[in-house]
Amino acid sequence: MPELPEVETIRKQLNKEVAGLLITDIWTDVPKMVKPSQKEILKRTKGQKVTAVERRGKLLIFRLSGKENLVLHLRLSGQLFLHKPNDSRDPFLHVIIKLSNGRELRFNDQRKFGYVGLVESDEELSKIVAGYGPEPFKDLNPDNFATAVRKSGRKIKVLLLDQKTISGVGNIYANEALWLAKIHPEAKSSSLSDSQVKDLYQAVLKVLEDGIRLGGATIADEKYRNLYGDRGHYEDVVRVYQRKGQPCPRCGTKIEYLQVGQRGTFICPKEQVI
């Protein structure tokens, strides 16, 4: 569920609440969610201080006082909450990172796709980060965006969702950006005009910026919550995502649903044409 704005919202809260604390224990009931293993990760990080919480794309990065780092990915259904030990447990609670102030960082994940991973060194972390495309608001610019779009023969929406193209764009924000730029998600990337590429670049930044400003999107299954359990508010300004049959906010045409690259996709069929 979480995309860049949701992860960034959680990151800021983690950096405020967790940085400065020591890791005292790590628990899991789903071994594959803790890599390489609960035993190894605990041995290597117990007693270390979390010095900062960073992010690349949708990946959370816990910088530690020693040479190791921890990475955490929420994938589709992960949630992160801060709790007291006696608080009731969510049925999908699968990983707990216990902290030196007595609080528990709880990782819920209905589908168990998410994970916490040990990264042996800063060098290894650099390799992981290098696998991601430009970070919006940082490395992304009109030129490297245009270059990436022009050289690919894939459908534009599939390209936007590829983390090697841009870090952090997911299904909600890809749908919204394409609607904003009036581009059909199945348009061949390399066939977009210069003005379409420019519009799309601005649209991507606009939707991500709005997403961050509004604290993420709590849509449909209501699963997304921030570190304190609060909902986001981007859903108040969502134009097409999961709005099949409802009128396009610009022209009133009914929004249609299609699958693009096995992902649910929503368009205004009048304004977004190939």
Partner DNA sequence: ATTTACACCTGCTTGC
Partner DNA sequence: TGCAAGCAGGTGTAAA
> Can you spell out the DSSP letters for 23-36?
EEEEEES-GGGEES
Size of the residue set binding DNA (CB under 7 A): 42
Choose the catalytic residue: 11, 44, 56, 58.
58
Residue 58 sits in the site that holds DNA (CB under 7 A): yes
Is 263 designated active site? yes
Instruction: Return the number of the residue (48 or 241) whose C-beta is nearest DNA.
Output: 241
**68: DSSP letter:** -
1 CB burial (10 A radius; 0-12, 13-18, 19+):
buried
Is 243 designated active site? no
Residue 73 sits in the site that holds DNA (CB under 7 A): yes
Residue 81 sits in the site that holds DNA (CB under 7 A): no
Instruction: Tally the residues of the chain.
Output: 274
110 CB burial (10 A radius; 0-12, 13-18, 19+):
middle
Q: Which of 16, 43, 111, 127 binds DNA (CB under 7 A)?
A: 111
Annotate each residue in 136-175 with x if it binds DNA (CB under 7 A) or - if it does not, as one string: ----------------xxxx--x--x-x------xxx---
Task: Return the sign of the alpha-carbon dihedral for residues 185, 188, 190, 195.
Answer: negative
Residue 222 sits in the site that holds DNA (CB under 7 A): yes
Is 135 designated active site? no
Instruction: Return the number of the residue (48 or 265) whose C-beta is nearest DNA.
Output: 265
Residue 217 sits in the site that holds DNA (CB under 7 A): yes
Classify 117 in phi/psi space as left (phi over 0), alpha (psi -120 to 50) or beta: beta
Residue 112 sits in the site that holds DNA (CB under 7 A): yes
Is 186 designated active site? no
Residue with tokens 């919550």: 225
Q: Within 13 Å of residue 237, how many CA atoms lie on the same side as its CB?
A: 18
Percent of the chain as helix, strand, coil, to the nearest 5: 30, 25, 45
Q: Which residues are catalytic?
A: 2-3, 58, 263
Which residues would be at the binding site for DNA (CB under 7 A)? 1-3, 6, 32, 57-59, 73, 75-76, 91, 110-113, 152-155, 158, 161, 163, 170-172, 216-224, 232, 242, 259, 261-264
